[in-house]
């Protein structure tokens, strides 16, 4: 997996033992004029219990990146960086060699002929549908794995990839491999680190560009500078450390040296305190501006 450069592409809460009237009003627990009335203070030494039914929406409002709506946003942000378009579903037929040493880059997540994930995708597709148009390229994909060679793929592999991309079975295979290799492990790691949707997305985007092992290496280096929330660290401090290491990794390769997908996207969300990756989102990648409402 890799990234081309410049491709057109209430919560209710308790403070000092007091339930905030506005939050209670929102849940129908107080009359309409109560939001502006002064709050009654409990007697000294008394603790006001919070009804679990009131507190529950606070937790429910915080969703992980695997929530369907959040996942859709994640796919759009990655597509903006990978394909210069928020329409990630239009990328099933995409294929080209972007001269980054990884052979052909293709599909919704940039599966590469030189890194093994394209081979695994075509194998999975063939296991489900043996008579597909890409099955005949499996021997060649095995041979070119780990190289930038097109041996056995040219001249018809791109044409056949685009033909296969019209098949709903191949589209489903692309989504399944994306989730299995990149999305699900990144979200799981984020949950275990105690980071919210933005942090989970930062892990996922790093895995997309650098591979799961590359993401893990970035995280390991960040651990020398900060701790994730699950280890007692501050979430914002941790994510800044992770993104610092991500940028350092990107700059090691000319093909990844434009770090705007971090600088003018993920950093923007982080500076805004949008740890839950809530919409609307306004960001830029490679100088192009995007809005997700």
25 DSSP β-pair partners = none
User: What is the number of residues in the chain?
Assistant: 293
Classify residue 16 as left (phi > 0), alpha (psi -120 to 50) or beta: left
Extract the tokens encoding 156. 């018809």
Contact between 22 and 34 (Cβ < 8 Å): no
Q: CA 178, CA 74: separation in Å to the nearest integer? A: 12
Q: 274: how many CB neighbours lie within 10 A of its CB?
A: 15
Mark whether 154 is an active-site residue: no
Dist CA 201 CA 190 (whole Å): 8
Backbone angles phi, psi at 99, to 5 degrees: 60, 45
Residue 5, Cβ neighbours under 10 Å: how many? 15
Q: Are strands 281-285 and 111-112 parallel, antiparallel or unpaired?
A: unpaired
253 catalytic? Reply is no
Catalytic residue among 33, 66, 67, 82: 82
Residue of 66, 97, 100, 193 with catalytic role: 100
Residue partners of 288: CB distance under 8 A and separation at least 6 = 9, 80, 84
What is the four-CA torsion angle of 15, 19, 23, 24, rounded to 10 degrees? 180
3 state DSSP class of 292: strand
The H-assigned helical ranges of the chain are: 21-26, 52-61, 68-83, 117-128, 138-144, 157-164, 168-178, 184-193, 197-222, 235-250, 260-261, 267-271
Catalytic annotation, residues: 82, 100
């Amino acid at each position: 997996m890799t990234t081309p450069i410049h491709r057109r592409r209430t919560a209710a809460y308790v403070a000092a033992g007091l339930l905030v009237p506005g939050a209670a009003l929102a849940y129908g627990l107080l009359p309409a004029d109560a939001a502006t009335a002064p709050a009654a203070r409990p007697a000294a030494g008394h603790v006001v219990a919070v009804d679990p039914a009131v507190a529950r929406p606070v937790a429910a409002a915080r969703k992980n990146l695997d929530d369907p709506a959040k996942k859709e946003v994640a796919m759009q942000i990655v597509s903006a960086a990978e394909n210069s378009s928020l329409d990630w579903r239009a990328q099933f037929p995409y294929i080209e060699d972007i001269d980054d040493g990884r052979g052909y880059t293709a599909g919704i997540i940039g599966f590469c002929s030189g890194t093994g994930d394209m081979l695994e995708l075509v194998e999975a597709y063939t296991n489900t549908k043996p008579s597909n148009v890409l099955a005949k390229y499996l021997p060649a994909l095995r041979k070119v794995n780990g190289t930038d060679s097109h041996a056995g793929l040219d001249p018809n592999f791109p044409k056949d990839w685009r033909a296969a991309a019209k098949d709903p079975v191949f589209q489903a295979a692309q989504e399944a491999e994306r989730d299995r290799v990149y999305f699900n492990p990144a979200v799981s790691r984020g949950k275990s680190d105690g980071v919210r949707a933005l942090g989970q997305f930062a892990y996922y985007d790093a895995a997309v560009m650098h591979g799961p092992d590359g993401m893990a290496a970035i995280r390991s280096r960040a651990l020398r500078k900060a701790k994730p929330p699950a280890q007692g660290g501050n979430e914002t401090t941790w994510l800044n450390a992770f993104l610092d290491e991500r940028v350092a990794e990107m700059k090691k390769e000319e093909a990844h040296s434009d770090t705007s997908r971090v600088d003018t996207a993920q950093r923007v969300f982080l500076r805004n305190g949008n740890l839950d990756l809530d919409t609307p989102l306004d960001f830029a990648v490679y100088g192009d501006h995007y809005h997700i409402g």
